[in-house]
Chains A and B, each alone.
Chain A
Amino acid sequence: QVLLVESGGGLVKPGGSLRLSCAASGFTFSDNSMCWIRQVPGKGLEWISYIRSSGSGTDYSESVRGRFTVSRDNTNNLLFLQMSALKAEDTAVYYCARSRANFFFDYWGQGILVTVSS
């Protein structure tokens, strides 16, 4: 079955960097676009990043553009989110999700908490 497992979260100081990973299994990873979505505890979901199946195209929300970089390793079925210049407001649970035709997300990881605090 499809499985997405995030890792790499934790506590980081403001201005610091962190890299999240998402390990995918149960489907042909290289055929699928992927996204990162985050959720401040107790708040709504926020789409933040998209990467095409080949890795050749990416998009970002205004809130993270210029600070976050999405990438992927199709050989090892891994999705990444490199986060830099982190702010307190980046504190959230980060989810990776598979993006499908008809522009929705059908499978989600369990989420990983990133806390930005001094």
Chain B
Amino acid sequence: QTVVTQEPSFSVSPGGTVTLTCGLNSGSVSTSSYPSWYQQTPGQAPRTLIYNTNSRSSGVPDRFSGSILGNKAALTITGAQADDESDYHCLLYLTSGIWVFGGGTKLTVL
């Protein structure tokens, strides 16, 4: 069974930089998995941040960036702000019509 791994929680100071990662239990993440990232605050629907590894969705500030780091997808927030405190979910496309989300990372800004 394919499992997508994310850090359960992470903490960053206001103004700091944080990198969240998204891996696979059974191999490497590459651009062929079309990694995407979603931000979610409690009680709200997810908001699309990054798609196709490193493309920002419309309206997303450029302090959010996506990449491949080693064998994982990564979401980097540069200059973290208080309202970046959210859950962050990564999504990988595995094969025709099949997607798998990671467990999500709860980011605290303090």
Contacts and interface: CB of A to CB of B under 8 A. Distances in A.
Interface string B76-104: 00000000000001010100111111111
**Which of A45, A46, A105, A108: most chain B CB closer than 10 A?**
A45
A35 B36 CA distance: 15
A102 B103 contact: no
A26 interface: no
A110 interface: yes
Interface residues of A, number: 24
Contacts of A61: 98
Give the interface residue-count category, chain B. Answer: 20 to 34
A59 interface: yes
B49 to A, nearest CB: 10
B34 A104 contact: yes
A50 B34 CA distance: 16
Contact of A35 (B46, B48, B99): B99
Contacts of A102: 34, 36, 51-52, 55
Interface of A: 35, 37, 43-47, 50, 57-59, 61, 95, 100, 102-111
A50 B97 contact: yes
Contacts of A95: 45-46
Interface string B33-52: 01010101000011110011
Q: Is the interface of B mostly helix, strand, loop or mixed?
A: strand
Nearest to B101: A45
**Which of B52, B93, B99, B103: most chain A CB closer than 10 A?**
B99
Contact of B45 (A44, A50, A109): A109
Contact of B48 (A45, A58, A105): A105
Closest CB pairs A-B (n = 3)? A59-B97, A103-B93, A104-B36
A57 B98 CA distance: 12
A111 B97 CA distance: 22
A46 B98 CA distance: 11
B103 A44 contact: yes
Contacts of B34: 102-104
B57 interface: yes
Given A47-B100, A59-B96, A100 B51 contact: yes
